[in-house]
Amino acid sequence: MGMLAGLAGAAFLSVAALSPAAAHDASSDTSENPSKQAPLHMLVSLDDQQIKVYRGADLIETSPISSGMRGYSTPTGVFSILEKRRKHFSNLYDDAPMPFMQRLTWSGIALHVGKLPGYPASHGCIRLPRNFAQTLYSTTERGMHVVITRQAAEPVRVSHTVLPQPFAPETAVASLSEKTIEADPALRGAIPEASLETSVPAILPENPYFDQPLRMIITPQEPPNRVKVLQDLLNRMGFDAGPVDGVMGRKTRAAISLFQEGADLPVTGNLTDALEARIQADGGYEKPQNAMLRIRRKFRDIYATQVTVKNIDREIGTHVFTALDFRPGDAAVDWIAVSAEGQRGGSPKDVLDRIEISAKVADELAKMLTPGTSLTVTDREFARNTGLGTDFVVITR
């Protein structure tokens, strides 16, 4: 895999290098060539003015780019290809042509053909050499990850118990009891004793979305407003605390006083940590976990649940974990990781060590898991740039 040099007009990338079909033809034995069917993804380094195309952890090819100039800097973060157009014209900059456009944000950031002077010169987009852009366009699909960083990043293989693995149902045991055989003369002597118990592989549930990678994200969530929780619990227990608005007003204090009186506590109407714990215990309140796991398929939310991140006040950084290829019935899948903010928050393994997912949630994730699924773990805000028609977009700068 040679490093590409030169500007537009050079033959940068062969279709055979990127095409999944060509990779499959090159070797049908994926056990000997595990990366051949791994998902494609792109890493862009603004400092190096370079884009690298990977299949899994394997570098396929490299090309020069030109990113945003001063005042129009290209944002860094985790993106997906949202839209593709062979012919496109900018609606922001005088209908400037943007051939082989691959959109990363609805606010105007995209990959497309453009002049490469050897330094950042665009209005925020990532300009590519024509031949490279054309071949890349024919290979990519909507939803494919593009991670943009300042310094160059590389994917690394990672193994951790928190990363989902394919669903593996337990083997069912079918048996014929001795009483059953004795009750049926036709069975006597016809079945060897060793055959009384037979292991039968359980049937895997069919996943109709197996060819559609999931996009998962784990982010910290703000703790609930303690006064709102208190008001809700008091109302549920029959003490009229008024509207659940988070305001410690007259009705809320009166409800606290009534609770204290009924619990043979000093009647003060004031909230203390001890009183809060007592009300929560009596109301059957379970404290929520401190992070959320959300999942999208084809740019739409399909699942959300709570998880725990240990030492939540410490930095997390932004890390993207991607499942490589596997087939229905496989017992395991390999993962790769890309740290989008260098060592901020620690290594990918350090971050995974801080995540706790219940056995129930892990089982649900295993049943949904598909090849090419990604998991982004970040303490950055994502909601502002994530909406209808996007994956989870995380801006790191």
Euclidean distance between CA atoms 317 and 348, whole angstroms: 9
125 has catalytic annotation = yes
- In whole angstroms, how far apart are CA 91 and each of 80, 94, 103, 349, 390? 21, 7, 13, 43, 20
- Whether the CB-CB separation of 222 and 302 falls below 8 Å is answered with no
Contacts of 333 (CB under 8 A, 6+ apart): 165, 166, 323, 324, 325, 326, 369, 371
Query: What SS3 state is found at 24?
Result: helix
41, 88, 112, 319: which one is catalytic?
112
24 has catalytic annotation = no
Residue type, 177: S
Euclidean distance between CA atoms 329 and 273, whole angstroms: 51
41, 88, 125, 319: which one is catalytic?
125
Residue 139, sorted as left (phi over 0), alpha (psi -120 to 50) or beta, turns out to be alpha
- In whole angstroms, how far apart are CA 373 and each of 1, 41, 177, 229? 26, 12, 45, 36
Residue 360: Cβ-neighbour burial (10 angstroms; 0-12, 13-18, 19+): exposed
- Whether the CB-CB separation of 180 and 187 falls below 8 Å is answered with yes
The helix (H) or strand (E) run that includes residue 374 is strand 374-378
Residues identified as active-site: 112, 125
